[in-house]
Amino acid sequence: MPKWTRQRLNTPDGDFIDVDWRKDEIDLSPERPLVILFHGLEGSSSSHYAQAFAHETHQRGWHMAVPHFRGCSGEINWAPRAYHSGDFEEVGWILSRIREQHRGPLYAVGISLGGNALMRWAGEMGQTATKYVDAIASVCSPIDLTASGKAIDAGINKWLYARMFLGTMKPRAMEKLKQFPGLFNPHTLMAAKSLYEFDQVFTAPLHGFKNTDDYWARASAKPGLSRVQVSALVLNACNDPFIPASSLPALNQVSAWVKLCQPEAGGHVGFASGTFPGDLQEMPWAVTDWMSQHG
C-alpha cells in the first residue's frame, strides 16, 4: 500500500483542493517525471487504480500526485458546488498550480470521469496545453456522457452500479445542503433512482447547466478530440459495461495528436492479467511506457 503526504491548494473561489503526493517523493530528483492522476467518480488516492499507478511510478523512479476533486478527499468542501465530468476549468487550474512546482516532464492521467474532464481540457486548450503537460492519457473514460449515462442507468448496471454510486453521492449532497440550505430539493434528490435523476437535481444546476441533457452534451470530451494538440492516449476497453463500444471515437473524429487504443477486453479500469483475481499492473505499465515515449 502506498503512503501519501497531503498538500492543500487554496482555490480562487475560497475553497480548497487536496493533493496527495506519494510519500517517497522527497528522495527523488525534482527533474524526474511527474504523473498527475485525476480520479474517477467517487474516487480518491485510495482507489485501486491510484495504488497501481503509485506502484508503477515508484518502480520507474517517477513522482506521482493525486488531486482530489472537491469533496472527495474525506472533508467536505466549502463552496456551494462539488465536481462533475466536464470540470475542465478545475483540471486546468490544478495543472497550472502543479506545473509551477515541478521542473521535469509532467504527465497527466485521467481515470473514468477524470479522463473525460482531462480530455475536455485538452480540447479547449489546443496547443496551449503543451505549456502545462508533456503528454496525457484517459483510461476507460465516458467521453460520450449521454451514451455512458444511459448505459449505467439501464438493466443490471442500474441495479448494481448506479445504486452503488448513489449510495455515496446522496449523503455527500445532503451534507452540502446542510451548508447551504435551499440549494436543492432534498425530497427530489433522495427519490432519485438513476444518475440521470441525480444530475437533474444536483450536478447540473450546481455547475451552471440547464439540466442533465445539457450537462451530458456540453461536458462530453468526444466533440473536442479533433482539437487536441498535445500527445494524448485514449484507452477504452470494448467490453466496458459503462461505455458502449458504439460510442467510442473513430480515427476520423480525433486529431493526429490522439492515439486511440480500444482492446476487446479490460472492463472498466480493470485490464487484469494472470490468474484470478489478476494483477492490475499491466495497464499502469502500458500507460506510463507510452507516455515515456511520447512526452
> Mind telling me the catalytic residues?
112, 240, 268
**Cβ contact 200:211 at 8 Å:** yes
277: cis peptide before it, omega within 30°?
yes
Structure-block grid coordinates of residue 290: 507510452
Strand partners for 235:
139, 261
Please list, in sequence order, all residues whose beta carbon lies within 8 angstroms of the beta carbon of residue 23, skipping any fewer than 6 positions away.
Answer: 2, 3, 4, 5
**Cβ contact 89:190 at 8 Å:** no
Q: H-type helices in the chain, by residue range?
A: 48-60, 88-101, 113-125, 145-152, 155-157, 163-179, 186-190, 195-198, 204-206, 212-219, 282-294
The number of residues making up the chain comes to 295
CA dist list (Å): 231 to 38, 109, 113, 127, 257: 17, 12, 20, 10, 5
* CA angle, residues 33, 261, 153, in degrees to nearest 5: 105
